Amino acid sequence: MKDVARVIVTYDCPRNCPNCCNEHIGDVPAVKFEDLLKYKELVITGGEPMEIAPRVVEMIHRLQANGYNGKLWLYTSCLKTTKWADRAVLQAVNGITYTLHHKPSQKDLSDVCKLNKYLLENLDNRAHDRSDRLLIDSRCYTEEVLRIIGLYDTGTKHWSSIKPLEWKDDECPIPDNEELIYYDLERV
């Protein structure tokens, strides 16, 4: 068993991206809740985990109630700082990796702008080993997009890194130190 688990909590996602990783990953072993407690770090992902944000909050609280003291990370592209559950997840995890996808809508850009402002005003990424990363699909990584989402106005100190993401069709490599598992949070 590896130290880090990338935990798919749902396969549902509103984006329906062509050549999505989830279409090509094959069978992922399902685990029970108790199995999650064995890892030093959990990366909560999907599909889109924030589509079921209240359940993610419950999962995090249940982990903590059962003595879990490892690091928790969130991979998302649909976080809304206006929703209580999304804010609760932001407060509870050690950091997020937020991805702005290709051909972002005005709403997508607005959501990243709000997230950027929220992180700046409410969370200190230096506290508690916090690490928030922003990935922007390289096909839309432009000065105009960076200006729209507010990075020129607010600066970038609250992001641990901001990088372009090179989209690779049918490729979703899992780092060597991570194990990919499925915990069905929709049916818990």
pLDDT in tens, 111-144: 998 998 898 888 765 565 789 999 998 988 988 8
pLDDT digits (tens, 9 = 90+) for 11-23: 988 887 777 777 7
| Residue 93 predicted with pLDDT over 90 | yes
pLDDT digits (tens, 9 = 90+) for 66-83: 999 999 999 999 999 999
Q: What is the pLDDT of residue 181?
A: 95
The residue ranges of every structural domain in the chain are 4-182
For 46-154, where are the E strands, in sequence order? 71-76, 95-100, 133-137
Domain 4-182, architecture per CATH: Alpha-Beta Barrel (3.20)
**Sign of the dihedral defined by the CA atoms of residues 102, 107, 111, 114, in that order:** positive
Distance from C-alpha of 72 to C-alpha of 19, rounded to nearest angstrom: 27
Phi, psi of 12 (to 5 degrees): -70, 140
Q: Give the helix/strand (H/E) hosting 162.
A: strand 161-165
Beta-carbon contacts of residue 121 (< 8 Å; ≥ 6 apart) = none
User: How would residue 98 be classed by pLDDT, with cut points 50, 70 and 90?
Assistant: very high
Output b/e per residue, 19-56; b: 16+ Cβ within 10 A: ebbbeeeeebeebeeeebeebebbbbbbbbbbbbbebb
Query: What is the SS3 assignment for 147?
Result: helix
User: How would residue 60 be classed by pLDDT, with cut points 50, 70 and 90?
Assistant: very high
pLDDT digits (tens, 9 = 90+) for 141-184: 988 888 888 877 766 777 888 898 887 766 677 888 999 999 99
Distance from C-alpha of 54 to C-alpha of 60, rounded to nearest angstrom: 10
Compute CA 91 distance to the chain's CA centroid, rounded to the nearest angstrom. 13
Q: What is the pLDDT of residue 25?
A: 78
To the question of pTM greater than 0.85 for the whole model, the response is yes
| Residue 24 predicted with pLDDT over 90 | no
DSSP string of 1-53? Answer: --SEEEEE-----SS--TT-GGGTS----B--HHHHTT-SEEEEESS-GGGGH
> Which two structure tokens, joined as six digits, stand for 109?
């850009």
Distance from C-alpha of 113 to C-alpha of 82, rounded to nearest angstrom: 12
Phi, psi of 108 (to 5 degrees): -60, -45
